[in-house]
A = this chain, B = another copy of it.
Amino acid sequence: MTTTIFDDVSRWRAERLAQIRSGTTLGFVPTMGALHEGHVSLIRRSRAENSRTLVSIFVNPAQFDDPRDLANYPRPLEKDLALLEAEHAELVLLPDQAQLYPDGYRYRVSETQCSRTLEGAHRPGHFEGVLTVVLKLLQIAQAERAYFGEKDWQQLHLVRGMAEAFFLTTRIIGCPTVREPDGLAVSSRNQRLSPRDRQQAPDFHRALSSSPSAGVAARALERAGFAVDYVEDEDARRIGAVRLGGVRLIDNVPLGEPR
């Protein structure tokens, strides 16, 4: 199967209209590229549940609160496209900034409570950028289902809430976090860890899973050399964010998980 790349939003919309008319179901996997096993699990789930699957790659400047993080964000497009072809993700949307933001980011989606806690408290404007671009992409994709990883737990929760609040027709589906054999949650940012920090990084997941309380987990992580942004228990979930050698890692585990 050959991958069809849509770098023109209008061309995609015409294609999707034809699909809708012929009753073709679509699954949508929005990504910022630098694809890894986590994305692969979303793509496979989408392929299993829909006739066609659309993957978008767009590094969204609006959701980066730190310009260095945006500048350092990996953009291995050739490798990504090869992976998509290998995974039979046959439809790829590659919009540019001007196409997605004809308004110059004047129109925004915000959320007034949950978006200001946890990640939101540490990354001002982050979720406003996420919700805005996800709304745009969902409206462009016009999919039956869209797939998001549980690793970004707060993001998944906020996107679900937005879909309900704005009566979006796309169903939001959360998929389990994919982990390395040593427990580290797969993430595009992992490749920026030094070999030494990469060895240390699984302690993050270990501390979240095995500590009797969020406070104990946070202190254990600080002692192990992580800079802890937060570790909090919320809605039967322990959610944390740490920095290790300048690389920011987030993760979460269910609170009932066996220790």
The answer, yes or no, to whether A102 is at the interface (CB within 8 Å) is: yes
The CA of A103 and the CA of B115, in the complex, are separated in Å by 13
Determine, out of A34-42, A84-92, A132-140, A217-225, the stretch whose residues face the partner at the interface.
Answer: A132-140
Rounded to whole Å, the gap between the CB of A69 and the closest CB of chain B is: 23
* A139 adjacent to B166 (CB under 8 Å): yes
The answer, yes or no, to whether A255 is at the interface (CB within 8 Å) is: no
The CA of A106 and the CA of B110, in the complex, are separated in Å by 8
Instruction: Give the residue name and chain of the B residue nearest to A162 (CB).
Output: B107
Rounded to whole Å, the gap between the CB of A230 and the closest CB of chain B is: 21
* A140 adjacent to B165 (CB under 8 Å): no
- Across the interface, which residues of B come within 8 angstroms of A113, CB to CB? 106
* B107 adjacent to A109 (CB under 8 Å): yes
Rounded to whole Å, the gap between the CB of A44 and the closest CB of chain B is: 27
* A165 adjacent to B106 (CB under 8 Å): yes
- Chain A interface main SS type: mixed
* B164 adjacent to A103 (CB under 8 Å): yes
Rounded to whole Å, the gap between the CB of A8 and the closest CB of chain B is: 13
* A108 adjacent to B106 (CB under 8 Å): no
Residues 159-175 (chain A) with a chain B CB within 8 angstroms: 161-162, 164-169
The answer, yes or no, to whether A94 is at the interface (CB within 8 Å) is: no
Show 21 A/B contacts (Cβ-Cβ < 8 Å), sorted by A.
Answer: A13-B167, A102-B165, A103-B164, A103-B165, A105-B112, A106-B112, A107-B110, A107-B111, A108-B109, A108-B110, A108-B111, A108-B112, A109-B109, A136-B165, A136-B166, A136-B167, A139-B166, A139-B167, A139-B168, A140-B167, A142-B169
Q: Which residues of A contact B (CB under 8 A)?
A: 9, 13, 101-103, 105-114, 131, 135-136, 139-140, 142, 161-162, 164-169
